[in-house]
Amino acid sequence: MKFDEYLDYFESILNNPEEHEVYKKEDYLNYTKLNWARMNRWLKKFTPSETILSEIQHISEPQHWILITEPWCGDAAHSVPQIYSIVKDNPNIDLDIQLRDSEPFLIDDYLTNGSKSIPKLIIRNDVGHDKGIWGPRPEKLTAIFNQMKEEGKSFDEVKEVMQKWYNEDHGEELQRELLEVLNWG
């Protein structure tokens, strides 16, 4: 789906959670409500760097960017709107949002250490060959996440630290890593 369709889908969950099985669970619905606010805040406040915008503007051959996500995902609430803001003005980049838990289950081909961690970005050329892969979160935050898991921190403690990290980082690490991915291919 296109980004606007994803926003519509997201909003339909908030308006009619009973129509979506997973969102009948209170925790998932509460995460989704929080993520809606976070995502909309990033859409209003996030400004991509001149460096990444210049790199994106120089993409002159068609590319297909597939972003695998779900509205309940906290990491996606930060990264998805930032990625959209970075690529939205280049007509050569087709951004396709796919849901992790719906067909065609593309996530099965892009596991992170055996798990279906999201968001996951796959950058393909116009003939369908992968040029780069990013996700599910910036590497610096993944290191913090893994350390906190090893230390046995609670899920609430981990979420709080991750949220603070995203707010203080302002999307800088995501952009730095995307530049590396774009120069990898």
User: What tens digit of pLDDT does each residue of 70-96 get?
Assistant: 999 999 999 999 999 999 999 999 999
Flag whether 156 is in a domain: no
CA atoms of 163 and 7, how far apart (whole Å): 21
Structural domain contains residue 163 = no
Number of domains present in the structure of the chain: 1
> Is 170 within a domain?
no
Domain housing 98: 3-136+177-184
166: in domain = no
CATH number at residue 57: 3.40.30.10
| pLDDT(183) > 90 | no
What is the model's pTM?
0.95
Q: Would 26 be classed as within a structural domain?
A: yes
Q: What is the mean pLDDT of the chain?
A: 95
**Long-range contacts formed by 31-38: CB under 8 A, 24+ apart:** 31/72, 31/73, 31/74, 32/71, 32/72, 34/74, 34/77, 35/71, 35/72, 35/73, 35/74, 35/76, 35/77, 36/10, 36/11, 36/71, 36/77, 38/74, 38/77, 38/78
The reply to whether 172 falls in a domain is no
Residue 86: inside a domain, yes or no?
yes
> Is residue 13 included in any domain, yes or no?
yes
In this predicted model, what pLDDT tens digit does every residue of 20-49 receive, in sequence order?
Answer: 999 999 999 999 999 999 999 999 999 999
184 has pLDDT over 60: no
